[in-house]
Amino acid sequence: MWSFLVASVMLATPAPAEAPRLVFLGDSLTAGYGLDAREAFPALIQERIKAKGWTWTVVNAGVSGDTTAGALRRLDRIFRRKVDVLFVCLGANDGLRGLPPEASERNLRAIVARGKRDGAQVVLAGMRLPENYGPDYRARFEAMYARIARQERVLLLPFLLEEVALHPELNQNDGIHPNAEGTRRVAGRVWSTVEPILERRQRGR
């Protein structure tokens, strides 16, 4: 009899709601190449969320060296659990390898479409390339981000590394990946973009 009563109480108690998830889908810039895991910008965003007393869980889905095609292949695994906000920061490796921007754009559109279809609010971060890639290629590459954001109606952070790229004191020796201070600045720009989204959703819970 007691076991029946215990079981009845357990069944009547609702399971705690799972914390909403903010997933950063990216490459080494997201993964925090050359840094301690706690210094990667998604981890810094999690700290800011915690300071607010919010319940969001941040997932760092950054993979060093990843391309838009590689990230697209990873989506099924990422969406095994509900994603509430998907922050997409990809394309740098496509550009550095000289891949056709048209192919990168198709992959990014597919990623954005998958996120929207699965109920996530999608944010897209743009990238820029060094000048030695030539004005035509750079223009085609950089233009795709604004075009995708406009046509797919998603929020755009125009350049993830704004005011960090090309500043030696904010980057590691390779001149590509931000150091700890540079990453803190990246986190500040990302936070200014995602904070209003998280706050609205937090209030709606």
Catalytic positions: 28, 174, 177
Which tokens in the block code for residue 156?
Answer: 């755009």
- 3-state SS string for the chain: CHHHHHHHHHHHCCCCCCCCEEEEEECHHHHCCCCCHHHCHHHHHHHHHHHHCCCCEEEEEECCCCCHHHHHHHHHHHCCCCCCEEEEECCHHHHHCCCCHHHHHHHHHHHHHHHHHCCCEEEEECCCCCHHHCHHHHHHHHHHHHHHHHHHCCEEECCCCCCCCCCHHHECCCCCCECHHHHHHHHHHHHHHHHHHHHHHHHHC
Q: What CA–CA distance (Å, rounded) separates 163 from 170? A: 9
